[in-house]
Amino acid sequence: MNFRLNLAWMYPDLMSTYGDRGNIIVLTKRCQWRGIEVNIKEITLETKVSELSNCDLIFMGGAQDRQQKIAGDDFLKNKGPMIKELVENSVPALFVCAAYQAVGHFYKPYQGEPIPGPGIFDLHTEHPGDQAKRLIGNVVAELISDQFDVIARSPVSKYGINSATKQSSHLIVGFENHGGRTYLGKKLQPFARVIKGGGNNGEDGYEGALYKNSIGSYFHGPLLPKNPYIADWLIAKALEKKYVAKIRLRQLDDGLEKQAHKFVSTLR
Amino acid sequence: MRNLLAIFLGKVTFKLSQLFKLGAGGTWPGEVVLTISPNILTQLFDQLHEGVVIVAGTNGKTTTSLMIKQILEKQGISVIHNTTGANLLNGITSACIKESDWLGRINADWGVFETDENTLPSIIFNFQFSIFKDKKLIIVLLNLFRDQLDRYGEVDVIAEKWAKALQAISSQPSATGHNKLTLILNADDPQIAHLGIRLSHPRLDRGSADSRLRGNDKEKSFQLRSDSNVLYFGVNDKKHFLKQKEHATDSTFCLNCGGRLVYEGIYYSHIGVWKCVGCGEKRPQPDLSVWDSPMPGLYNQYNTLAAVSVAKALDIKDNIINQALQRFKPAFGRQEEFTINVPTSPGLREASKQVKLFLSKNPAGFNASLRTVLELNPKTVLLVLNDRIPDGRDVSWIWDVDFEILTQDKHKIIVSGDRVYDLALRMKYAFQQYNNLAMQQLIIKENLAEAIETGLKSIKPEGTLYILATYSAMLEVRKILTGKKIL
């Protein structure tokens, strides 16, 4: 059977600021290396909402303020409600950085009215003002959900999991750079527990959010290259949803991924 | 009195740093002076006989300002210039102190300073008093690309700060007359050209434009005094249009109305012949579009056009400009060349090999360097990625660089630097097929000296090793090459 995934890349010309493309490249290549065909659908302002209906996996990245404003209206009124439906329907999605803020109920700037969001995730974000410290730097966090953890590792574990992979696959590493503080509602569980760095709000020690098969994270830009098992989890979930079958992905040689991961996870 | 003390201590710092060889005295003397006398730059600028040329932009400011300096000097004009990298207030102050006497007196015609993106507004504010006294200010704005978001902030925020500073100085009554303020702008960068368009024409009120859609509703129009000059430079050569748009683009939406920009053609990144379909704002016709560049690479064409525009604004003759450019030697790390003598085998005579070093510090710069290197048919390319403060701590941007153009051919690719594995990983995903063949093409060296040695060994005598490195990595490479640490 030939597997084929439609990967929706939301606003690639507006919401792609700092290496966000890395996630698309990693998802695409890791599918191709396993013989899974990938069709990238660039969804932008002019794209019809109906184009999203046959998408199997959604990615939306970071943006600068002006670009986010340009995309904001279209997202709130047109694409957002459709993505909400897909996410509710267990279609996997990855929202990083500005997209993570954008999928909440609202974003409250330091001054001015809150900017409404489509409420795909039960969360909201507040900006504490220019005087508050921006959360910038390398982040190391530990995945929380056992359920997630099992699913994250099971698709790649054709030959079982040795203790070394088990150890490293609990951790995610990345870089954060955000002023806004995000607070999760009751319907959401956090994605990871911060070991080093700021996370969602610099207060509660959590990073990101997990809802059904979708992930939101402040790890901006290329989240997936150094955390390839998250990419594999998204791919597996997309295939399971589309082909209604339990999917086991072939193990890939992730030697370089692990080295790059280790560099950040062992930073003092 | 306070200023005299400041200058005295600044001079002492300069002498001490020379005496103990603590670097070239690029920033410390200025730092000392500014601590005691924060507003001293205003007085120092005031003493220049003619005025100040400021060069700002994400990429190319070192090369451009050096070209301007050399052209002016060829004309017999005396110039104060800040050394490469020292482009904050302290570096510019240091450059003035270095040239002043012990009483802080300066005897020079022009100051030619490259300045950091975030420092440009404060340099302009330091100059605004001099403009009362018939001094001239020439501001050269090259381009704006995403660069070290963790350090500089977003491109739009920088552009807005620039616009405010330009507005402040151009609205001063004293800025009238004798072309005291000249702006030299890149017509092909929409974000830069828009600054000039805003200054030259009060904005037409377009009632139909939804201000939320515009995304820049805070923007107010302002008008340049009619006797100030805006000169544009740009490239008019369809041969150079890219066949495929690069990924690292920053400004493809109209600054005026928020509509999508359409391009007749793109030269690189978001630089090209642009037009807004929404409001009709378009790339201004360049005043200068052709001049021979002394260095390869389209980005150097832009640097040359910018520098020549300054020379033309100062009425310097073409033959003087050409003579200066023909002798132009690149600034360090900017296509700088090194000749390395290596023994071909034990006991045999030495052969010489070349190293060409390209500072490449952000996606647009890296793409530009890659294209230039590929045109030179490289056998081996060494890429070095560091994540220290001057490089930016965040290395995410490597995923915006089109390394896929590098992996198409069969040359060797060596990766090194603090973040060698991030770079190696990026390469892995850039190969069309990641297999044994690709692994033979990619060489991973944690140790930089070893990486350079491996690179030199892989090329034939008289051949060239091309090195692309981030800022601190570039300094390290130079140290290894000039310090003869290797071989």
Element (H, E) at B70: helix B61-74
B88 and B142 housed in the same domain = yes
Asked if residue B270 is part of any domain, the answer here is no
B383 and B311 housed in the same domain = no
Asked if residue B260 is part of any domain, the answer here is no
CATH (domain of B113): 3.40.1190.10
What is the pLDDT averaged over residues B170-197? Answer: 83
In this predicted model, what pLDDT tens digit does every residue of A172-210 receive, in sequence order? 999 999 999 999 999 899 999 999 999 999 999 999 999
B178 and B139 housed in the same domain = yes
B182 and B306 housed in the same domain = yes
> Given pLDDT bands bounded at 50, 70 and 90, which one contains residue B131?
confident
B140 and B181 housed in the same domain = yes
What is the reported pLDDT for B23?
Answer: 60
Per this entry, what is the length of chain B? 487
Phi and psi of B373, rounded to 5°?
Answer: -65, -45
Is any Cβ of chain A less than 8 angstroms from the Cβ of B253?
Answer: yes
Asked if residue B20 is part of any domain, the answer here is yes
Interchain CB distance below 8 Å, B421 and A256 = yes
Is any Cβ of chain A less than 8 angstroms from the Cβ of B246?
Answer: no
What is the reported pLDDT for B201?
Answer: 63
B315 and B338 housed in the same domain = no
Asked if residue B249 is part of any domain, the answer here is no
Identify whether the C-beta of residue B236 lies closer than 8 Å to the C-beta of residue B336.
no
> Given pLDDT bands bounded at 50, 70 and 90, which one contains residue B304?
very high
B258 pLDDT more than 60: yes
What is the pLDDT averaged over residues B135-155? Answer: 83
Interchain CB distance below 8 Å, B393 and A175 = yes
Domain boundary among B270, B303, B326: B326
Asked if residue B265 is part of any domain, the answer here is no
Residue of B215, B399, B426 with shortest CB distance to A69: B215
Asked if residue B38 is part of any domain, the answer here is yes
What is the pLDDT averaged over residues A40-69? Answer: 92
Asked if residue B357 is part of any domain, the answer here is yes
B251 pLDDT more than 80: no
Interchain CB distance below 8 Å, B421 and A17 = no
CA angle, A86 then A88 then A94, to 5°? 65
**Residue B408 DSSP label:** T
CATH (domain of B374): 3.90.190.20
B48 and B170 housed in the same domain = yes
B35 pLDDT more than 70: yes
The Cα–Cα gap between B136 and B48 comes to: 10
Residue of B154, B249, B394 with shortest CB distance to A175: B394
Residue of B146, B252, B425 with shortest CB distance to A260: B425
Best residue in B212, B257, B421, B446 for a mutation probing chain A (most A CBs within 10 Å)? B421
Q: Please give the residue range of the domain that contains residue B420.
A: 334-482
The Cα–Cα gap between B103 and B6 comes to: 10
Is any Cβ of chain A less than 8 angstroms from the Cβ of B316?
Answer: no
Question: Contacts of residue A16 in chain B, CB cutoff 8 Å?
Answer: 247
> Given pLDDT bands bounded at 50, 70 and 90, which one contains residue A16?
confident
Domains of chain A and any CATH numbers: 4-265 (3.40.50.880)
Question: Contacts of residue A257 in chain B, CB cutoff 8 Å?
Answer: 425
B306 and B344 housed in the same domain = no
Identify whether the C-beta of residue B411 lies closer than 8 Å to the C-beta of residue B381.
yes
In chain A, which residues touch B (CB < 8 A)?
Answer: 13-14, 16-22, 25-26, 29, 33, 45, 64-67, 69-70, 72-73, 136-138, 175, 177, 220-222, 225-226, 256-257, 259-260, 262-263
Is any Cβ of chain A less than 8 angstroms from the Cβ of B258?
Answer: yes
Interchain CB distance below 8 Å, B421 and A22 = no
What is the pLDDT averaged over residues B370-393? Answer: 94
- The count of other CB atoms within 10 Å of the CB of residue A47 is 17
Asked if residue B463 is part of any domain, the answer here is yes
B310 and B349 housed in the same domain = no
Residues of B marked active site are found at 394
Q: What are the helix and strand counts (H, E) for chain A?
A: 8, 13
Interchain CB distance below 8 Å, A26 and B429 = yes
Domain boundary among B295, B326, B357: B326
- Residue in chain A closest to B216 (alpha carbons) equals A66
> Given pLDDT bands bounded at 50, 70 and 90, which one contains residue B100?
confident
Determine if residue B96 is labeled as part of a ligand binding site: no
Identify whether the C-beta of residue B353 lies closer than 8 Å to the C-beta of residue B456.
yes
B56 pLDDT more than 80: yes
Q: Distance (Å) from the C-alpha of residue A183 to the closest C-alpha of chain B?
A: 23
B445 pLDDT more than 70: yes
C-alpha dist (Å) from residue B180 to A197, B139, B228, B287: 49, 11, 7, 19
The Cα–Cα gap between B130 and B265 comes to: 41
Question: Contacts of residue B149 in chain A, CB cutoff 8 Å?
Answer: 17-18, 177
Question: Contacts of residue A34 in chain B, CB cutoff 8 Å?
Answer: none
The identity of residue B71, as a single letter, is I
Identify whether the C-beta of residue B398 lies closer than 8 Å to the C-beta of residue B360.
no
Question: Contacts of residue B417 in chain A, CB cutoff 8 Å?
Answer: none
In this predicted model, what pLDDT tens digit does every residue of B273-296 receive, in sequence order? 999 988 999 999 999 999 999 999
CA angle, B163 then B55 then B261, to 5°? 50
Mean predicted lDDT score pLDDT of chain B = 86
> Given pLDDT bands bounded at 50, 70 and 90, which one contains residue B198?
confident
Judged by average pLDDT, the poorest of A212-226, B93-107, B389-403, B436-450 is B93-107
> Given pLDDT bands bounded at 50, 70 and 90, which one contains residue B228?
low
B187 and B53 housed in the same domain = yes
What is the reported pLDDT for A180?
Answer: 93
The Cα–Cα gap between A193 and A211 comes to: 16
Is any Cβ of chain A less than 8 angstroms from the Cβ of B396?
Answer: yes
> Given pLDDT bands bounded at 50, 70 and 90, which one contains residue A237?
very high
What is the reported pLDDT for B390?
Answer: 86
B207 pLDDT more than 60: no
B216 pLDDT more than 60: no
Domain boundary among B326, B361, B391: B326
Region label for B267, one of left (φ > 0), alpha (ψ between -120 and 50) or beta (otherwise): alpha
B298 and B350 housed in the same domain = no
B322 and B357 housed in the same domain = no
Is any Cβ of chain A less than 8 angstroms from the Cβ of B446?
Answer: no
> Given pLDDT bands bounded at 50, 70 and 90, which one contains residue A149?
very low
B157 pLDDT more than 70: yes
The order of strands in the sheet holding B110-115 is B79-81, B110-115, B51-56, B136-141, B181-186, B229-233
With b for 16 or more beta-carbon neighbours within 10 A and e for fewer, the B233-261 pattern comes to: bbbeeeeeebeeebbbbbbbbbbbbbbbb
> Given pLDDT bands bounded at 50, 70 and 90, which one contains residue B153?
low
Domain count, chain B: 2
Choice between A157 and B469, residue whose per-residue pLDDT is larger: B469
